[in-house]
Structures are given as structure tokens and as C-alpha cells.
Structure 1
Amino acid sequence: MHRLFAELEPSVTVTEQNLADRVRYILRSNTFDVAELERLRREAVPSSGENAAAEDAAPQMVEQTANVDAAVNTPVVVDSNDDGTVAQELELEHMRSTLEEAIVETRSTPLENRPRLPRIALSKRNRAVVRALNPMLVTYLEASRDLCETDSILFGAALAVCRIIGAKVSTAGRATGQSSAIPAWRRRNEERIAKARALIGRLICFRSGNNRPRIVRTVRMAFAGTNVSLSQPDITQKLTERIDDLKQRIAAWGKRIRRYTERSTRFNQNRLFQSDQKRLYESLERPMVSGTGPAPDQADTVAFWRGLWSEPVNHNEGPWTEVVASQCAGITPMDPVIITPDDVAEAVRRAPNWKSPGLDGLHHYWLKGFMG
């Protein structure tokens, strides 16, 4: 292969290993389908045995591409006994059943329990699967009653595509996303601090004369691997040194957590300053109110707001209101804003494919593929 490439492209310098790596990457990433690779091979290496090679490769090409190409109206070479047509119909029926199962499953699943959709490769095969499911969605979308049902249909279609192409879908749901926001190293440090404080408490108890079996066992474990014995005369000094060492470790771990917290706070404040300065200043001026107190009584809350909104109020309008009304009389009212499907399509087209989704977990890639 390297010799042939050198004959075709003498101006390009490439090693054998680099050439092999590039070929392996193209094949694994499915950049070209089987038919395209065969066409490129015929153009690059014309030979007298080309027809025979094409006939040998035709059944394999049909087997791999006929199932998807039939759904997108792409002409495919099939045998005269219609075996390829039967395979296409079976594959389309499998896609249709997978789509129906995914939509039914998504409709009965809350938003927080939906699986995480993975990022799929932008290959021709995956795009062909999306195009094959697109006409199947027309019936479901036409029967949709509201936006929530439309969203569940699109999510079910995306889930069906992932299952058809064999992409790994996480079944754990997204309800545990809140706990994963804390870094693992911080959780480890917090656990170390808690264990060190518990150990300091038991060492202090033993130093004060508490010789219960559990305390003694803990102290022995604290000095495991050293030459310190609990019966030696300077055990009190060793206990004090051990306690001081644990306190220094706790201070170091705590300082590391505080440094991270301060850095995270500064980062969030800078980002909020760029997007919403008013909200930033309000958060700095108003103290954070925790919701750990008792909940307000329902009857008192209803009585409070009923006293505000149920009684009619007669406002004493000043003369300035007439001046403002006369000045605004000549202003032409703004035309009502009407959002058309073309506006939505244009907004979705410009959005990044794999930007972090919202609560529904649906990326822009699926909106482009199914709505386009």
C-alpha cells in the first residue's frame, strides 16, 4: 500500500505507519460507506480484473447498505431473486417496532428518569438511520396534542436511533446529576476529615484514661506499622504528637476545599456579571436565605394574599398621568410578535449539535435531523 501511494502521490512524504493509521481511522470512523470506498478504489487503481472484483464485492455491499439506503430512496444493487427486497422490508419493520417501543417507553417515563443520550458519530450510516426514521415520525407528530408530547416523541426517536446503531445508552437516568456536581477529590477529602476527627476524639478519650476495648482497638490501629506500644512510658507524648499530626492534616484538607470554593465562587460571579449584572448585585447585597425553617401556615398565607388582591383599590391619579397619556397617544403600537416554524428552524439550525441539553435531555442534533 505504501509503494502504491508513493507512485500515486510522489510529492507527499508519509511513513508506512502513518499511512496505515490514517487508513484505519477512515475505516473505523465510517467516513465513507462501502460503495464510496469501492468507487474510490476503482478510480485510484484501474485494472483489468475490475469487473470481477466488483461482482465479488456486490453481495457484501448490498448486505451492509441496502437496509438503510432503501429507506432514503437510494438505488441499491440487489439479486434477481428479491432477497435484498425482503431484507430491506424486514429491516424497516425492525426499525418501526424499535421506534414504537422507544416512544411508548419515553411517554411513561418522567423527565428526571430519562436515560442520557450519547453523542453519536456524524457518519453517513448514522445519518441514513435518522433519515430512515424521519418519515415514520409523521404519524406520531400529526397526532401530537401539545409540545410536551412532541418532545417525548422526538426523544423516543433519538433513543430508537441509538439502539439501532448500537450506541451505548446509560440506563441510570439523570436524577443523580446533582450529586455528581461535587468533585470526587472533594468528597474524598471530606471523608478523610470526618474520619480524622473521629480518630482524634478516640485518641483524646484514651489519653484521658478511657480504656474500653473499642477505644483501645482504635488506638492500636492508629499506631499500626510503628514501633509505638501502648504500654511504654511516653505513650502520652506519642498520643499528643499523633493528635497534632491529624489536626494539621485536617487543616490542610480544609484549606484545599476552601481554596476551591473561593475559586468557584469567583468564577460564577464573573460569569454572572457578564450575563446578568443586576442579579449579581442582588446576590451580593441580599444574604442567602436557607429554607430549613418551618413552612408558613397555609391558612395564614391565603388570608394574607386575599387581603391584598380581593379588596378593590381606588388609585388617586395625579395630573402627570394625563400628560404621559397625551404624549403616548401618538406612538404606534408594536406589531404582535409571531414566531413561525421557519424562525424555529433557523434558530435550531444555528445551534451547536451537542450543546448541553435542557431538562428534556434532547440535543439540538436530533431536532435538526428529525425536524429538518
Structure 2
Amino acid sequence: MRSNTFDVTELERLRREAVPSSGENAAAEDAAPQFAEQTANVDAAVNTPVEVDTDNDGTVAQELELEQMRSTLEEAIVETPSTPLENRPRLPRLALSKRNRAVVRALNPVLVTYLEASKDLCETESILFGAALAVCRIIGAKLSTAGRATGQSSAIPAWRIRIEERIAKARALIGRLICFRSGNTRPKIVHTVRMAFAGTNVSLSQPDIMQKLTERIEDLKQRIAAW
């Protein structure tokens, strides 16, 4: 009525359908106040914000809001299994406010139905993640839209970085050992060769140094192959 959605004829038809009466005259007389009262009740239900009943430790009281929460929960639970693990959004840590606790307490009874129908641990995990995602959406928490793929899968693991660094150092050492074996006696090359044989009884002046160099080079090549 406030938005002038229906014309006078349509409003009159709605009044006759909504208000029971014994006759046409009684309907015409009683329809207006009763219809206005019904409209006011509907508007109050739709426009009433979520209220927290502090006497029951934050229980959400409004049925309309609870139905919307159920819809959000169902949507999140359905979409979670089809989302790869690396593409799931990161869930933020939520503050323990009355509003957040009320949302969780409202969804817990609904969640039991899904958990009872779960067939295995993977499905249970998916349901719980979907429920947590639904809570974040209901309270308006900020979610990472990029997911985990850009932050983790594209990054090189630390163990791979360490192994690649070992390989790079071993190859550099092999190159300097070959240079020394070829007759390059620059101070930097000589220092590197001495460090390569540090802790051993090998001396650069001993007669079989070329054989020792070859053995050391082959040992490094095998290490690189293993790494």
C-alpha cells in the first residue's frame, strides 16, 4: 500500500480474499482495518532486525532471520565439496561477541542434521568447513577471495629451495675444481679447492692431487643426481 504496487481494484480483491466474512457488505466494512493490521504485522516481521535474547545467552529469536541463516548454511555446505582444498578461502578468527555467539548457537541445531547424514570423515570435514563459511558470511566477516592457491601453491616450498641451493653450490664448486685441474691457479680458485678438501689429509702439493680432484668432482656429481 505504501509503495502503490497495486491499484484500487487489486487491493479490493486482496481484501476480499484475505478477510473472511459472511457477506459482501461485512467484507467491505471490515476489510480495511483488518488488512491494515495484517500489513503492519508483516512489515514489522520483515523489518525487525535480529534480536539477541540475553536471558538465554544470545539465542537468535527471529524466525525469518533463522530461515535466511539456514539457506546460507545449505548453500555453503553444498558448494564446499566441489571446491578444491587449495581454492578454499581462508577463514578469519572471529571475535566472541554476543552477535557471533548467537549466530553459532542458531546454526548448531541445524548442523546436526547434516552431520548425522555424513558417511565418512572427509564429508564431515566438508560440512564443518561449510558451516564455518556460512557463519562468516552471515556476520559479514571479510574472507580472502584469492583463496589459498595464490598464496601457497604458487610459492616454492622451503625444502625445494634448500635442495636447489645445495645443487647450485655443488655445481659452482665443480666448476672451480675443473678450472684448477685445468691449470687455473688464481687465488680465489685455489682457496675454493682448499676449502673443498678441508678436514681431509689431501694436500694440493701431493702427487696424486689430480686423481683426488677427479674423485671429488665425481662425488659432487653423484650428490647432485641424488638431490
**TM-score using structure 1 length:** 0.27
| 1:154 alignment partner, SS class | helix
| 1:71 alignment partner, SS class | helix
Cα distance change of structure 1 residues 33 and 197 upon mapping to structure 2, 3 Å threshold: farther
Cα distance change of structure 1 residues 197 and 37 upon mapping to structure 2, 3 Å threshold: farther
Cα distance change of structure 1 residues 144 and 42 upon mapping to structure 2, 3 Å threshold: same
Cα distance change of structure 1 residues 143 and 217 upon mapping to structure 2, 3 Å threshold: same
Structure 1 contact 112–174 (Cα < 8 Å) conserved: yes
Structure 1 contact 72–128 (Cα < 8 Å) conserved: no
Give 1:93 shift. 0.6
| 1:135 alignment partner, SS class | helix
Q: Which moved more, 1:121-130 or 1:95-104?
A: 121-130
Structure 2 contact 77–131 (Cα < 8 Å) conserved: yes
Q: Distance in 2 between matches of 1:74 and 1:62?
A: 18
Cα distance change of structure 1 residues 157 and 194 upon mapping to structure 2, 3 Å threshold: same
What do residues 113-134 of structure 1 show as CA deviations (whole Å, max 9, x unaligned)? 1111111112121111111110
Q: Which runs of 5+ in 2 are unaligned?
A: none
Cα distance change of structure 1 residues 120 and 223 upon mapping to structure 2, 3 Å threshold: farther
Q: Distance in 2 between matches of 1:164 and 1:177?
A: 25
Give 1:178 shift. 3.0
Q: Distance in 2 between matches of 1:91 and 1:85?
A: 12
Structure 1 contact 67–87 (Cα < 8 Å) conserved: no
Identity of paired residues, percent?
A: 90
Q: Which runs of 4+ in 1 moved over 4 A?
A: 27-87, 179-252
Cα distance change of structure 1 residues 160 and 77 upon mapping to structure 2, 3 Å threshold: closer
Q: Distance in 2 between matches of 1:251 and 1:191?
A: 14
What do residues 70-96 of structure 1 show as CA deviations (whole Å, max 9, x unaligned)? 999999999999999998111011000
Give 1:171 shift. 2.1
Cα distance change of structure 1 residues 207 and 153 upon mapping to structure 2, 3 Å threshold: same
Q: CA RMSD in A?
A: 17.9
Q: Distance in 2 between matches of 1:28 and 1:208?
A: 96
* 1:31 match: 5
Cα distance change of structure 1 residues 78 and 165 upon mapping to structure 2, 3 Å threshold: closer
Pairs within 5 Å for 1:1-372: 88-178=62-152
| 2:113 alignment partner, SS class | helix
Q: Which moved more, 1:120-129 or 1:229-238?
A: 229-238
Q: Distance in 2 between matches of 1:57 and 1:29?
A: 19
Cα distance change of structure 1 residues 175 and 36 upon mapping to structure 2, 3 Å threshold: farther
Give 1:176 shift. 2.4
Give 1:227 shift. 57
Q: Distance in 2 between matches of 1:170 and 1:223?
A: 52
Structure 1 contact 66–76 (Cα < 8 Å) conserved: no
Cα distance change of structure 1 residues 99 and 81 upon mapping to structure 2, 3 Å threshold: closer
Cα distance change of structure 1 residues 176 and 192 upon mapping to structure 2, 3 Å threshold: farther
Structure 1 contact 162–168 (Cα < 8 Å) conserved: yes
Structure 2 contact 15–35 (Cα < 8 Å) conserved: no
| 2:62 alignment partner, SS class | helix
What do residues 155-214 of structure 1 show as CA deviations (whole Å, max 9, x unaligned)? 000000000000011121212233676799999999999999999999999999999999
Q: Distance in 1 between matches of 2:138 and 2:114?
A: 19
Structure 1 contact 144–150 (Cα < 8 Å) conserved: yes
